Structure 1
Amino acid sequence: MTDGFATPFLTDRFDDALAYASHLHRAQRRKGSEIPYVSYLLAVAAIALENRADEDQAIAALLHDAVEDQGGLAQLEAIRARFGGGVAEIVADCTDAHEEPKPAWRPRKEAYIASLTHKPARSLAVSLADKTHNASAINADLRAMGEAVWSRFTGGREGTLWYYRALAEAFRAHAPGIAAERFAREVAEMEELAARA
């Protein structure tokens, strides 16, 4: 029995991207945990797909941290060669630093927020999926660990709260809709949890 689709929505390209992302990030764990990094990449791809991403966006969601964490601009060119220019453009747009060492945290985050005004909707959707999962994970950790969670973040408590507030404002302005509102709710919850801790 068929599911009614003439061709699959996610093709072998997505499968290849999942294997590639898993290989690239195999040794990584989520900040301050033993959770394999690939679980985070899968969650970002799931959020993007739930928000009606196409295959290029879903692939970019899996690979959105590859440039920052696994090889800089050379990795971006490898992604372009393997998955195409559309995927590479989204990955580049989701990357806040191509070089090592990374620039200082606050100016890098300020530049990323400012850059959102010029990003195409396709890239904003993937960035929004990424930031939504990050905010949700921070909220879960705040409930479980309290204030100790802030020690994981370069910006600490105040810097992290500033960053997520600024992102929520930017996404409301440049990617309005249900996904931006979901993110804004996560940020509001983060602020409430931080105030209680």
Structure 2
Amino acid sequence: MTAPVAGARPAAWSSLAEAASLAFRLHGPQRRKGTAIPYVSHLMAVAALVLEHGGDEEQAVAALLHDAIEDCGAEHEAEIAARFGPRVAAIVRACTDAEVLPKPPWRARKEAYLAHLEGAGADALLVSACDKLHNARAIVEDLRELGPGMMARFNAGRDGTLWYYRALAEAFARLLPGRLSAELGRAVTEMEALA
């Protein structure tokens, strides 16, 4: 357990609780790709990673809601801004790689997201890196349990998925150097070895 930072105002957590409620309402029936795991488990894990890596309550709120626009519809952006403020809405927007259905082609979407990271602010980089770290860790666990065949569940298959995660690891190592990007790099290296 870590001691509070001297002079720091303790978080009230009311916004985080409200965001969790919204995340459960929006994503409740969804499951992680190719699994029976509730999707909200990912959102909670990303919020936990944000807090573990020094994020504040608003960044954790954005982590809980980071897929709301992409997976549940662009109409939720206004609700997020009204309920949680412009900073949270901006982070969620910055973590969104598509808001239209059908989504643009996978490779073009991912290349655009990687390019977008170059100009993303620190808030968005933190939430995005935590999102990608949790995803990478989940893929590694599935590879350990199910073997390389599980990579077929992804739209881009094995090669595209490995390309994307290596490109993400390199981008975050450059844009957000430190423990978080190092953890992502290690997870991606293990993913590559197991796949």
TM-score interval for Structure 1 and Structure 2 normalised by the shorter chain? over 0.9
Q: CA deviation at 1:8?
A: 3.9
Q: CA deviation at 1:10?
A: 4.3
What RMSD over aligned residues (CA atoms) do the two structures have, in Å? 1.5
List structure 1 runs of 4+ shifted beyond 6 angstroms: 3-6
* 2-structure distance, mates of 1:23, 1:7: 30
Q: CA deviation at 1:143?
A: 0.4
Three-state SS of the structure 1 residue aligned to 2:118 is helix
CA shift digits 1:38-84 (9 cap, x unpaired): 11110011111100101110000000000011112x11111111111
Return the letter of the residue paired with 1:31.
K
**Is 1:83 the equivalent of 2:84?**
yes
**Is 1:161 the equivalent of 2:162?**
yes
Q: CA deviation at 1:16?
A: 0.3
CA distance 1:119–1:146, change in 2 (3 Å): same
Query: Which segments of 5 or more consecutive residues in structure 1 lack a partner in the other structure?
Result: none
Three-state SS of the structure 1 residue aligned to 2:131 is helix
Match of 2:122 in 1: 121
* 1-structure distance, mates of 2:29, 2:4: 39
Match of 2:148 in 1: 147
* 2-structure distance, mates of 1:87, 1:116: 17
CA shift digits 1:73-128 (9 cap, x unpaired): x1111111111100000001101001111100000000000110100011100000
* 2-structure distance, mates of 1:10, 1:176: 29
Query: Which segments of 5 or more consecutive residues in structure 2 lack a partner in the other structure?
Result: none
Given candidates 59, 70, 76, the residue that maps to 2:61 is 59
TM-score by length of 2: 0.94
Question: Alignment length, in residue pairs?
Answer: 191
Return the letter of the residue paired with 2:22.
Y
Matches within 5 A, 1:105-116: 105-116=106-117
Q: CA deviation at 1:149?
A: 1.2
* 1-structure distance, mates of 2:94, 2:86: 12
TM-score by length of 1: 0.93
CA distance 1:10–1:161, change in 2 (3 Å): farther
Q: Percent identity?
A: 54
* 1-structure distance, mates of 2:48, 2:111: 27
Q: CA deviation at 1:148?
A: 2.1
* 2-structure distance, mates of 1:137, 1:129: 12
